[in-house]
């Protein structure tokens, strides 16, 4: 059993990096995820179908295509990449931040779907009641809508995290496979399978990957149940 826990420094780095990338991807996806879900659930505007399609694109396109598009847009010479690097000093290409961006975008449709469904399930009469009690629309959202969609937010966040933990195609295309910088768990496993005698390492990381994903799932279940009990929604 010892060989299981006896990770090399590079393997540890891959684990740590994966968790970091997935967490950052999830956290940064949340605000725009909520906003877009709100727009799609309640907005009435021209181009709503287009926006919906755009959000879902990463789900339909081959990940390599998404990765390549990211490279074109956010690479050093890409329009967005050059602009961000020049004005804000934010560089994505061949950095862990780029891996987080790729993971966030790949998980975005899953997150938006979960949040959108929970927003659509909110009884708008509750919001009207809060309005008659003096709360302005922003406060109604913060004190009524947001708490009521919390289970959906948790589900969306966990989906995004899990997707990020497993993301491979877009990440490797956009930021390559650099140990300690962009080599996440899936990339590391892939690397092991490409070298002779790498089976043991691949298996180790595979098991770790399973443990992390299961832990995230169980955590979300526990959290969602606690929120549900708090609200006594039968």
Partner 1 sequence: MSVVVDISRRLGDFGIDARFESAGRLTALFGPSGSGKTTLIDLIAGLIRPDKGRIAIDGRVLVDTAAGIFVPKHKRRIGMVFQDARLFPHMSVAGNLRYGRWFTPKAERYADFNAVVDLLGIGPLLERRPAKLSGGEKQRVAIGRALLASPKLLLMDEPLASLDDARKAEILPYIERLRDETKIPIVYVSHSVAEVARLASDVVVLAQGKVVAAGPTGAIMRRLDLLPAEERGEGGAVLDTAVLRHDKAFGMTVLGSAAGEIRVPLLAMPVGAPVRTRIRARDVMIATELPTGLSALNILPGTIVAIEPGEGPSVEVGIDCNGATILARITEQSRQALKLRLGRKVFAVVKTVSFDRANTGAGLPAEADG
List interacting residues with partner 1 (CB under 8 A): 123, 125-126, 128-137, 139-140, 143-144, 147-148, 150, 230-234
Displacement of CA 223 from its chain's centroid (Å):
18
Interhelix angle 48-60/9-42, rounded to 10 degrees, is: 160
Q: How far is the CB of 226 from partner 1 (least distance, A)?
A: 12
Q: Using the minimum distance from each CB to partner 1, give the nearer residue, 54 or 133.
A: 133
Read off the tokens for 51: 């926006």
Q: Using the minimum distance from each CB to partner 1, give the nearer residue, 139 or 207.
A: 139
Q: How far is the CB of 117 from partner 1 (least distance, A)?
A: 18
Q: Using the minimum distance from each CB to partner 1, give the nearer residue, 128 or 214.
A: 128
Q: Using the minimum distance from each CB to partner 1, give the nearer residue, 120 or 181.
A: 120
- Distance between CA atoms of residues 93 and 187, nearest Å: 16
Q: How far is the CB of 128 from partner 1 (least distance, A)?
A: 5
Local structure of residue 77 (DSSP, 8 states):
T
Q: How far is the CB of 42 from partner 1 (least distance, A)?
A: 16
- Distance between CA atoms of residues 161 and 63, nearest Å: 17
- With CA atoms as reference, report the closest residue to 78 among 174, 6, 161, 211: 174
Read off the tokens for 196: 């002779």
- Distance between CA atoms of residues 186 and 213, nearest Å: 13
Q: How far is the CB of 126 from partner 1 (least distance, A)?
A: 6
């Amino acid at each position: 059993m010892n060989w299981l826990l006896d990770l090399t420094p590079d393997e540890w780095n891959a684990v740590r990096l994966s968790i970091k990338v997935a967490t950052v991807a999830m956290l940064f996806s949340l605000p725009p995820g909520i906003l877009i879900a709100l727009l799609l659930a309640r907005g009435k505007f021209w181009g709503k179908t287009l926006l919906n399609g755009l959000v879902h694109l990463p789900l339909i396109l081959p990940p390599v295509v998404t990765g390549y598009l990211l490279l074109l847009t956010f690479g050093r010479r890409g329009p967005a990449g050059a602009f961000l690097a020049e004005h804000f000093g934010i560089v994505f290409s061949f950095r862990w931040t780029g891996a987080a961006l790729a993971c966030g975008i790949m998980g975005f449709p899953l997150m938006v779907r979960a949040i959108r469904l929970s927003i659509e399930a909110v009884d708008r009469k509750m919001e009207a009641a809060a309005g008659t009690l003096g709360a302005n629309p922003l406060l109604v959202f913060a004190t009524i809508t947001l708490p009521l969609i919390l289970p959906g937010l948790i589900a969306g966040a966990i989906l995004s995290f899990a997707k990020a933990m497993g993301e491979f195609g877009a990440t490797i295309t956009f930021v390559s496979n650099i140990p300690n910088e962009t080599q996440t768990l899936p990339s590391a496993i892939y690397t092991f399978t490409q070298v002779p005698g790498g089976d043991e390492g691949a298996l180790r990381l595979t098991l770790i990957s399973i443990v992390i994903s299961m832990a995230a799932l169980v955590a979300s279940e526990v959290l969602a149940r606690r929120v549900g009990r708090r609200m006594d929604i039968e």
